[in-house]
Amino acid sequence: MPDPADAPTSRPDPTLKPPAEPAWRRGWLDWWLALPGNVRGAFWILAASILFSIMSAAVKTVGARLDIFQIAFFRCLVGLLVILPFMVRAGPHVFRTRRPVLHVVRSLTGLVAMFCGFYAITHLPLADATAITFAKPLFMIILAVLFLGEVVRWRRWSATIIGFLGVLIMINPGENGLDPAMAAALAGTLCVAVVVVLVKRLSATEAPLTILFTFGIVSTLASTVPAALVWQAPTWAEFGLMVLIGSLGASGQFCMIRGFRVGEATAVVPFEYSQLLFAGIFGYVLFGNIPTLNTLASAVLIVASTLYIALREAKLGKKPAAKASVQAPAPVAVDTGNGQPPSA
């Protein structure tokens, strides 16, 4: 009978060493971590801008044949599947909520924003649809005054007026009235601003994962019926693009969050506007869209005003006595699904 002492055990051999990390990987990691936080943050923001621009181009491509409701359904479903492993890892407490009604309102508002955003992307040049989304801080200023009691002084009011002047140039109502796609873009941007305010209320008691998961559940269920009513069997290429849209949206949100987490807002916010450049490039190369003078002029006004507001908010936020306010460039983990930067 063999001696039990000779039986194999599951203890690791202390003489064995774990496989060494490849030198190239260690070298890249050391180089990356040696960079200042603001530089790494800028790289993350640039990566997010590229991903969001590619996602918008994919939405515009698929939207040439398929309805936006069907595209939005896949976007919501893929986003939900992406967040599920993180929910399981976090534990059962993130599945519970104390504010279900507010979650539903936030989720439905976010879904409307997604519908409007996808409609604008499929019917407008990419540069135009992207430029309008950067008007979000302008709407947030007004919402902060009306619903959060924030005091806004003349500097930010002046920047807000200039920004809305840029929006007016962009939409160019004219004698024929407001273009439906421009109206959808404006409505979607307003809805995103409302979502930011609602999420700031939710963040007081709810975990970010809970907010994301609830949005995934509610938006997927709510978009099922509209998608079913307009359903067309996608080709394999279209199916792949819709999965890609969901993946790019989730990846872009992750990069944007990482960028603001490792870098200071005042340093990384300007790189967020690179999405306008990438949207213009993709729009020209893929769809032959050439930005008009109206687009360029309005983009300059919108970017200048919202950038000033963002930097002003960041400066006020550093003062100990400053009152908490709605800050556009402070993302936590909110998925709007339409290429909008995440907001807390």
Is residue 18 pLDDT above 60, yes or no? no
CA atoms of 335 and 204, how far apart (whole Å): 18
User: Helix or strand or coil: residue 98?
Assistant: coil
Q: What is the pLDDT of residues 89-134, one digit of tens each?
A: 888 888 888 888 999 999 999 999 999 999 999 999 998 999 898 8
Is residue 314 pLDDT above 50, yes or no? yes
Is residue 332 pLDDT above 60, yes or no? no
- What's the mean pLDDT when you consider all of the chain? 82
Q: Which two tokens stand for residue 264?
A: 């200071």
Q: Whole-model pTM? A: 0.80
**pLDDT of res. 223:** 96
Q: What is the DSSP letter of 15?
A: T
Report the amino acid identity of residue 2.
P
- Residue 318's pLDDT band (cuts 50, 70, 90): low
- Residue 69's pLDDT band (cuts 50, 70, 90): very high
Q: What is the pLDDT of residues 285-312, one digit of tens each?
A: 999 988 888 888 888 888 888 888 877 7
**pLDDT of res. 291:** 84
Can you give the residue ranges of every domain in the chain? 39-317
Is residue 221 pLDDT above 80, yes or no? yes
Q: Which of 16-20, 129-133, 213-217, 221-225 has the highest mean pLDDT?
A: 221-225
Is the distance from CB of 218 to CB of 104 less than 8 angstroms? Answer: yes
CA atoms of 291 and 127, how far apart (whole Å): 7
CA atoms of 178 and 174, how far apart (whole Å): 8
DSSP per-residue letters across 122-172: HHS-HHHHHHHHTTHHHHHHHHHHHHS-----HHHHHHHHHHHHHHHHHH-
Q: Which two tokens stand for residue 282?
A: 């993709």
**pLDDT of res. 176:** 66
Out of 39-43, 148-152, 177-181, 334-338, pick the least confident.
Answer: 334-338
Q: Which two tokens stand for residue 131?
A: 């430029």
CA atoms of 108 and 18, how far apart (whole Å): 49
**pLDDT of res. 340:** 56
Is the distance from CB of 73 to CB of 223 less than 8 angstroms? Answer: yes
**pLDDT of res. 236:** 95
CA atoms of 48 and 154, how far apart (whole Å): 33
Out of 131-140, 184-193, 247-256, 321-330, pick the least confident.
Answer: 321-330
DSSP per-residue letters across 234-275: PPHHHHHHHHHHHHHHHHHHHHHHHHHHHS-HHHHHHHHTHH
**pLDDT of res. 329:** 39
CA atoms of 144 and 197, how far apart (whole Å): 8
User: Helix or strand or coil: residue 21?
Assistant: coil
Q: Helices (DSSP H) in the chain: which residue ranges?
A: 23-34, 37-62, 68-90, 100-123, 126-133, 136-147, 154-171, 180-202, 208-229, 236-262, 265-272, 274-287, 293-317
Is residue 275 pLDDT above 60, yes or no? yes
Is the distance from CB of 133 to CB of 247 less than 8 angstroms? Answer: no
Rounded mean pLDDT, 46-69: 94
